[in-house]
């Protein structure tokens, strides 16, 4: 492994810097001599593999905040959510009081085929007890996942007609898709909503499917939700932009000291883009990063739509993956992302100062930027204009919204945070659904009925507060009252997700979310037409 690292390092140095072979060899000799001296003469036993890994991590930490090393296991975990699938049993679950609780089975997946149901509790996997023993989620997932076509034996505890039964299942693992479109639904007869949680290998295809479905239902305006979306594959963002922009339009370009400018344009379309004309609003916040910023930035630059929310994260550095033979990898920053108008997405940073970079969001909060638009400092020298209407927009890191929405912390009291931190809302919902699943399904046959008519009762809230008191969270009546709308929304959203599907969660959540409410108001108002005239 060490020889491979050295040869690769030498090749990269020669290519990227133009150093002579002798200079590169001297630098590599210095590295080899240091590693050899430590391994041979250090006072204690040294793990040489860890020594090499620590050296690589140390070099990268002195560069920028996004150049990183990952060992083989970390690399697999990083890549899995983006590749689009893994092999497993096909369930989504929560841990409730140290027990795996099945929320949903993947439609047509291995668990559904053998009869696993929402509400089941998996208590053993291949004769290993996983319930009540303090096993970590990662350890449980390792037992449930495995090569496609292999079997896993599970014992399930199921509530049936008020009785507890245990049932044994043998599940044959299969490829399980990881979806990046969380929800796609019609808010009203004309307005569609799509939420994307990441930009992965199949995101563009999922997006196309969602757009076609919503258009068939009459959609002529779209709210695209990128709130909390940390990004992913660059190509996924460019492909998605191809459904909103004209064929061949610039989506983003990259450039670095050792990387010449590369323009990425939307592909020449074999057919017309799916949504190049209707009204478009993008939801974003301070955790929307990378590919989310490329998408929202291009839409804003071309005056294709409006961005609503708060200034995005400001992650505009391009990482090139450099894999090693053992499965480990370096993700090395090689360039900056620029929006079509020339804005550098990356926020400022000091090399080697990871702490300040990681605390940037907290600093924004403390400065009041998340609550007050007037606290956002725009730099005149970084002002540019949009490409069609010449509206003023600003660079300097992240994408600033066309319509600012303040972070409202009124309902997010300390009492609410303490209840959430102990996982008590999830536990309450799981128990409530256990006892009322059939009654809810009977009373609310569709999630439309549920979203419109189901209400969280005062008795339900009292039960939650009693559970919290029992678990050591002292009741603060004033704060509980302030947080009642938030408690009620989260409880209803989680019940809806457990009984119907993930989209139901967002149908409930969006009735409460200030960014969504502003996006919905704007897209259906005359103000939209004034801001973006044809």
Which active-site residues does the annotation give? 290, 301, 315
CA–CA separation, 228 vs 284, rounded Å?
Answer: 7
Beta carbons within 8 Å of 39's beta carbon, 6+ residues apart: 46, 48, 51
End-to-end CA distance of the chain: 59
- Element of type H or E holding 168: strand 163-172
CA–CA separation, 278 vs 531, rounded Å?
Answer: 14
CA–CA separation, 128 vs 143, rounded Å?
Answer: 9
Which DSSP string corresponds to 416-438? HHHHHHTTHHHHHHHHHHHHHHH
Beta carbons within 8 Å of 179's beta carbon, 6+ residues apart: 202, 206
Instruction: Give the single-character DSSP code of 348.
Output: P
CA–CA separation, 286 vs 362, rounded Å?
Answer: 10
Beta carbons within 8 Å of 132's beta carbon, 6+ residues apart: 98, 99
Instruction: Count how many Cα atoms sit within 13 Å of the Cα of residue 71 in the half-sphere of its side chain.
Output: 8
- Element of type H or E holding 375: none
CA–CA separation, 291 vs 79, rounded Å?
Answer: 16
Whether 295 and 237 have beta carbons less than 8 Å apart is answered as yes
Whether 231 and 291 have beta carbons less than 8 Å apart is answered as yes
| Sheet containing 279-284, strands listed edge to edge, beginning at the edge strand earlier in sequence | 181-186, 191-196, 221-225, 279-284, 306-309, 403-404
Greatest Cα-to-Cα distance within the chain, rounded to the nearest angstrom:
78
CA–CA separation, 11 vs 84, rounded Å?
Answer: 32
Whether 307 and 402 have beta carbons less than 8 Å apart is answered as yes
């Amino acid at each position: 492994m060490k020889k491979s690292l050295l040869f690769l390092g030498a090749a990269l140095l020669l290519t990227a810097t133009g150093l002579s072979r002798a200079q590169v060899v001297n630098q590599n000799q210095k590295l080899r001599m240091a590693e050899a001296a430590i391994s041979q003469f250090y006072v204690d036993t040294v793990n040489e593999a860890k020594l090499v890994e620590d050296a690589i991590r140390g070099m990268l930490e002195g560069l920028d905040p996004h150049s990183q090393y990952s060992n083989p296991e970390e690399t697999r975990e990083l890549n899995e959510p983006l590749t689009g699938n893994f092999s497993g049993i096909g369930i989504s679950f929560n841990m409730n009081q140290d027990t795996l609780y099945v929320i949903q089975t993947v439609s047509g997946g291995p668990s559904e085929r053998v009869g696993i149901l929402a509400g089941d509790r998996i208590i053993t996997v291949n004769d290993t007890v996983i319930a009540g023993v303090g096993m970590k989620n990662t350890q449980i997932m390792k037992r449930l996942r495995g090569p496609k076509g292999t079997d896993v034996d599970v014992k399930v505890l199921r509530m049936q007609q008020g009785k507890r039964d245990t049932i044994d299942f043998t599940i044959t693992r299969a490829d399980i898709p990881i979806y990046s479109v969380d929800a796609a639904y019609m808010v009203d007869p004309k307005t569609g909503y799509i939420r994307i949680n990441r930009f992965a290998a199949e995101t563009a295809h999922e997006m196309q499917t969602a757009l076609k479905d919503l258009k068939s239902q009459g959609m002529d305006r779209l709210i695209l939700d990128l709130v909390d979306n940390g990004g992913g594959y660059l190509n996924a963002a460019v492909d998605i932009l191809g459904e909103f922009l004209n064929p061949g339009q610039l989506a983003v370009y990259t450039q670095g000291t050792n990387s010449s400018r590369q323009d990425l344009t939307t592909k020449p379309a074999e057919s017309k883009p799916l949504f190049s004309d209707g009204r478009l609003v993008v939801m974003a916040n301070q955790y929307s990063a990378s590919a989310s910023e490329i998408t929202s930035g291009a839409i804003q630059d071309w005056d294709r739509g409006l961005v609503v929310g708060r200034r995005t994260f400001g992650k505009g550095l391009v990482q090139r993956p450099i894999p090693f033979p053992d499965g480990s990898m370096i993700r090395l920053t090689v360039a900056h992302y620029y929006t079509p108008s020339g804005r550098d997405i990356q926020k400022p940073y000091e090399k080697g100062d990871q702490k300040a970079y990681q605390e940037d969001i907290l600093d924004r909060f403390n400065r009041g930027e998340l609550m007050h638009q007037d606290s956002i400092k725009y730099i005149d020298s970084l002002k540019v204009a949009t490409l069609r209407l010449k509206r003023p927009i600003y660079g300097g890191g992240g994408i600033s919204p066309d319509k600012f929405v303040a972070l409202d912390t009124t309902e997010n009291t300390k009492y609410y945070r303490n209840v959430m931190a102990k996982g008590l809302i999830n536990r309450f919902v799981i128990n409530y659904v256990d006892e009322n699943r059939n009654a809810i399904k009977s009373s609310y046959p569709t999630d439309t009925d549920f979203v419109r008519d189901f209400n969280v009762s005062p008795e339900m809230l009292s039960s939650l507060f009693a559970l919290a008191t029992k678990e050591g969270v002292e009741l603060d009546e004033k704060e509980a009252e302030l947080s009642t709308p938030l408690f009620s929304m989260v409880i209803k959203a989680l019940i809806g997700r457990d009984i119907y599907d993930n989209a139901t969660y967002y149908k409930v959540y969006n009735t409460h979310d200030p960014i969504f409410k502003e996006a919905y108001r704007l897209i259906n108002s005359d103000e939209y037409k004034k801001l973006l005239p044809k």
